[in-house]
């Protein structure tokens, strides 16, 4: 049942992303990005990769970390062809793996290793981000909050140094 609810959240998120990304407010953002439209600074419509192994153009890279994992939604830049935003969607299930190597930690490291902080000279590009989308109550549960807050605390410095936004999309707000 949780998987079905998660798919419903993903579908609502995709519709809102395509029609009105300003509505997708980023809670607890580690940057000045207040909503998803702020990440799409170049106003380019990104290529959306949804639950598809095509998200990873480097399948042999970082096998121990990524393996066969697939983020729920990836926003790929049409300008640089880089995956710039990874969105993991949860309904009630916790993040997989332990706090120190959770899904979001693995996605962060992959994003950091496969993208550039500064876009190609002269081209505007989508800002980089790792976003977790879940109902507000998900973030309040101790088991969920522990892994998510561990990630935010330990990767805050790197996220600021390399201009990668970390943030929450509360599924009950859109």
pLDDT at 169 over 90: yes
Q: DSSP label at 60?
A: T
pLDDT of residue 61: 72
Residue 43, pLDDT score: 66
Q: How many domains does the chain have?
A: 1
Expressed as residue numbers, the domain containing 84 is 2-173
**Is the pLDDT reported for residue 173 higher than 80?**
yes
Centroid of chain to Cα 107: 8
Q: Are 145 and 139 in contact (CB under 8 A)?
A: yes
Closest CA to 28 of 106, 129, 141: 129
**Gyration radius from the chain CA atoms:** 15
Let me know: does 25 contact 14? Beta carbons within 8 Å.
Answer: no
Q: Which pLDDT does position 137 carry in this prediction?
A: 97
DSSP state of 27: B
Name residue, tokens 């970082």: 62
Residue 69 has pLDDT above 90, yes or no: no
Report pLDDT for 166: 98
If we measure between CA atoms, which residue out of 33, 26, 1 comes closest to residue 174? 26
């Amino acid at each position: 049942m949780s998987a079905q609810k998660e798919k419903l959240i993903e579908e609502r998120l995709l519709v809102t992303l395509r029609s009105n990304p300003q509505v997708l407010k980023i809670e607890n953002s580690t940057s000045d990005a207040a909503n998803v439209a702020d990440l799409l600074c170049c106003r380019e419509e990104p290529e959306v990769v949804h639950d598809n192994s095509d998200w990873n153009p480097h399948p042999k890279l970082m096998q121990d970390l990524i393996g066969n994992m697939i983020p729920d939604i990836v926003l790929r830049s049409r300008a640089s062809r880089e995956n710039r935003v990874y969105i993991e969607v949860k309904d009630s299930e916790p993040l997989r793996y332990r706090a120190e190597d959770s899904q979001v930690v693995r996605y962060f490291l992959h994003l950091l290793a496969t993208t550039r902080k500064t876009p190609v000279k002269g081209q505007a590009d989508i800002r980089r981000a790792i976003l977790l989308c879940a109902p507000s109550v998900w973030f309040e549960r101790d088991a969920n909050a522990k892994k998510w807050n561990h990630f935010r605390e330990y990767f805050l410095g790197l996220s600021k140094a390399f201009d990668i936004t970390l943030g929450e999309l509360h599924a009950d707000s859109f």
